Amino acid sequence: MLDALNDTRYHEPVLFEPVIGLEIHARLLTETKIFCGCSTRFGNRPNTNVCPVCLGLPGALPVLNRRAVDFAAKAALALNCEVQERSIFARKNYFYPDLPKGYQISQYELPLATEGALEYTANSVSKRVGIIRVHMEEDAGKSLHEGFADSDQKTYLDFNRSGTPLIEIVTHPDLRSAADAADAFRRLREILTTLGVNDGNMEEGSLRCDANVSVRPVGQQTLGTKTEVKNINSFRYLEKALEYEIGRQTGVLQSGGTIVQETRLWDADAGETFSMRSKEDAHDYRYFPEPDLPPVQLAPARIQEIRGTILELPDARRLRLMADYGLSELDVKALERSDLVALFEGTAKAAGNAKAAFNWISGEVARKRNELGERFDRERVLPQSLAKLIGIVESGAISASIAKTVFERMYDSGRSADEIVEQDGLAQIGDEGALMASVRSVIDANQDAVAQYRNGKTGTIGFLVGQVMKATGGKAKPALVNDLLRRELDQ
Ligand code: ADP
Ligand code: ZN
Ligand code: MG
């Protein structure tokens, strides 16, 4: 017993905290490649979108795609970065079969943009993830390891992707959990796709994420040794890979080991990361300025102009919708999920009634949208026409349940709400004379219920009201029916 107490292996368990920074590569949605006029289209026959420049043939000279710079700067500005008026392309030298020149044109010492932040709100909490830099670079080609008769002996190369413009976004190590990292990446994707600079397609590799992670004892200020996890192509895998890696590193440290700085690959099938190579340092790449390209010059006026092309970003829009229309975060998410935010805003404004607009759009319209999926025709549900329907309901001319019928018919026929109400005779019957006949015939046909009512079971009136509503096709004004029935029954 005494031995066990004195044994230094028995001590308070140390709590470890993860530290995570992301490096994100996003393909820019330009028509042509970054240094040549070849198409960036995905999925064409291998080696059809190529030329001497993107094949790296000797003597071919790169010319920078202006649109790629616009897109890169737009993304950087949306991430609150400082876009530099002068930045430099550099050669990053390494050998790999899919890199025909033997170097990748990237940016190193003077990148396009520096120091920014990804900012967003999650469950009413403001989050901030610092951005170290955003730089431009070209993508490599693609090695095809399978799909050919002799794939067991040969690797084929497709250079269609070679020279596709990318931005690399590097965050500060500000993230403290796998879930936070996945959420930050989600927000980043949302921004890039909203800007229209990236299609967000992770399966096709248009958006890729490498995750740097270390752990350290809680309270320690200095960072622990990190590993970099590659090959992550979904949010779920990012979270899983990080959780695995956090657990692995914590285990190593707890058992007295040390973390080796290295690059690890995520194996989705095994649910594990495994060591790929020891991490190379910047000097391994022998970076030097690209002699074939002049510095990128961006005049302040051009930066301003690019800034002007940034429309409202997702998080700002969410906060505005909540503030302007009294929606909750969940309400806004529901509208976003069914892609009905614009329709909601238009309708709320046109109807002057945000609550009614939200109820309609999150109810009937969303139902229709989900039912029809891609076939949902937005032209058939315009803010003005939906607002008119809301107005008719508010005026008391039709009941809420008839309004649903009207909406169906609006969608199917393209007629306006008032046309439908009038042509199809759906207006609420609020006229005593017109209702009296129905009230009387319901009384005649339901003598049992009438007797029960008169014997004191006054609740039966609900049943009788229902019968009148049915007889009038739902058009009767329920309160009036109630009054008329009582008047008749109480005599
Ligand atoms: P390297 O020189 O290895 O490329 P950088 O300093 O350029 O490292 O950072 C690359 C990425 O790794 C950034 O996203 C950064 O936030 C993250 N990072 C750096 N140090 C750590 C660490 N100790 N733990 C976790 N992430 C880190
Ligand atoms: Zn080319
Ligand atoms: Mg680095």
Which string of DSSP letters, residue by residue, matches 2-43?
Answer: HHHHH-TT--PPPPEEEEEEEEEEEE---SB-SSSS-B--SS
Task: Check whether 400 has a pLDDT greater than 90.
Answer: no
pLDDT of residue 123: 86
Residue 318 confidence (pLDDT) above 90: yes
Q: What are phi and psi of 297, to 5 degrees?
A: -110, 125
pLDDT at 11: 60
Beta bridge partners of 134: 113, 169
Best probe residue, ligand 1, of 92, 212, 227, 287 (max atoms within 8 Å of C-beta): 212
Is the CB of 213 within 6 Å of ligand 1? Answer: yes
Would you place residue 309 in the very low, low, confident or very high pLDDT band (cuts 50, 70, 90)?
very high
Name the residue with tokens 């509503």.
469
Asked if 83 and 113 count as a contact pair (C-beta separation under 8 A), the reply is: yes
pTM of the model: 0.84
Residues 6+ apart with CB under 8 A from 72: 28, 112, 113, 134, 135, 136, 165, 167, 197
**Residue owning the nearest CA to atom 14 of ligand 1:** 21
Residue 193 confidence (pLDDT)? 97
Q: What tokens were used for 262? A: 């290295």
**334/341 Cα distance (integer angstroms):** 9
Beta-bridge mates of residue 175: 20
Provide the pairing of β-strand 86-87 with 296-297: antiparallel
Whether residue 116 is predicted with pLDDT greater than 70 in this model: the reply is yes
CA of 291 to the centre of ligand 2 (A): 19
Integer Cα distance of 31 and 41 in angstroms: 7
pLDDT of residue 395: 87
Nearest-angstrom CA–CA distance, 405 and 407 = 5
Alpha carbon 452 to chain centroid distance?
59
Ligand 1 atom nearest to CA at 172: 16
Output the pLDDT for position 42.
86
Q: Residue 288 and residue 104: Cα distance in Å, rounded?
A: 11
The single residue listed with the structure tokens 């959780």 is: 243
Q: Which segments within 342-489 are labelled E, that is strand?
A: none
Q: What is the pLDDT of residue 473?
A: 82
For residue 12, pLDDT beyond 70: no
Does the pLDDT value for residue 4 go beyond 60? no
- Residues of the chain with pLDDT > 70: what percent? 97
Please check whether residue 461 is in contact with residue 485, taking contact to mean a CB–CB distance below 8 angstroms. Answer: yes
pLDDT band with cut points at 50, 70 and 90 for residue 158: very high
118's enclosing H/E stretch is: strand 113-122
- Ligand 1 closest atom vs CA 225: 23
The CATH number assigned to the domain with range 432-489 reads 1.10.10.410
At residue 241, φ and ψ (nearest 5 deg) are -65, -40
Residue 19 in contact with ligand 1 by CB distance below 6 A: yes
Q: What is the dihedral of CA 411, 412, 418, 423, to 10 degrees?
A: -170
- Token pair 């989900």 is at which residue? 370
Computed over every residue of the chain, the mean pLDDT equals 93
Ligand 1 neighbourhood includes 465 CB (under 6 angstroms):
no
Distance CA 68, CA 441 (A): 76
For the chain, the domains span 17-306, 314-423, 432-489
Is 303 a residue whose pLDDT tops 50?
A: yes
pLDDT tens digits, one per residue of 427-443 = 877 778 878 888 999 99
Kindly report which listed range (60-74, 408-422, 427-441, 452-466) carries the lowest average pLDDT score: 427-441
214 lines ligand 1 (CB under 6 A): yes
Which is more confidently placed, 281 or 131? 131
Cα separation, 72 vs 166, in Å, equals 8
Residue nearest to atom 3 of ligand 1 (CA): 281
Beta partners for residue 126, in sequence order: 121
Q: Which of 380, 435, 385, 382 lies closest to 411 in space, CA to CA? A: 380
Q: What is the DSSP string of 352-389?
A: T-HHHHHHHIIIIIHHHHHHHGGG--GGGS-HHHHHHH
Mean predicted confidence (pLDDT) in 317-345? 94
Sign of CA dihedral 124, 130, 136, 138: negative
The pLDDT tens digits of the residues spanning 189-242 come to 999 999 999 999 999 999 999 999 999 999 999 999 999 999 899 999 999 999
pLDDT of residue 290: 97
The helices-and-strands tally (H runs, E runs) of the chain is 17, 16
Question: For tokens 């709590």, what's the residue?
Answer: 15
Ligand 1 atom closest to residue 19's alpha carbon, by position in its atom list: 25
Does ligand 1 come within 6 angstroms of the Cβ of 212? Answer: yes
What is the percent of the chain with per-residue pLDDT over 90, rounded to a whole number? Answer: 82
Nearest CA to ligand 1 atom 17: 21
User: Would the pLDDT of 344 be above 70?
Assistant: yes
Q: Is 233 helix (H, G, I), strand (E, B) or coil?
A: coil
How confident is the model over 82-113, as pLDDT tens digits? 999 999 999 999 999 999 999 999 999 999 99
Q: Is the distance from the beta carbon of residue 111 to the nearest atom of ligand 1 less than 6 Å?
A: no
Residue 69 has pLDDT above 90, yes or no: yes
Residue 143, CA distances (Å) to 39, 146, 159, 171, 250 in order? 19, 9, 9, 29, 35
Ligand 1 atom, smallest distance to 213 CA: 25
**What mean pLDDT do residues 293-319 have?**
97
Q: What is the pLDDT of residues 346-360, one digit of tens each?
A: 999 999 999 999 999
Q: Is 248 in the pocket of ligand 1 (CB under 6 A)?
A: no
Ligand nearest to the CA of 37: 2
Most distant CA pair in the chain, distance: 105
In this prediction, residue 209 carries a pLDDT of 96
Supply the pLDDT for residue 1.
Answer: 46
For a pocket test of ligand 1, which of 17, 128, 226 has the largest count of ligand atoms closer than 8 A to its C-beta?
226
d(CA 206, CA 190): 13
What pLDDT is recorded for position 9?
Answer: 56
Q: Which of the pair, 488 or 62, is modelled with greater confidence?
A: 62
pLDDT at 257: 95
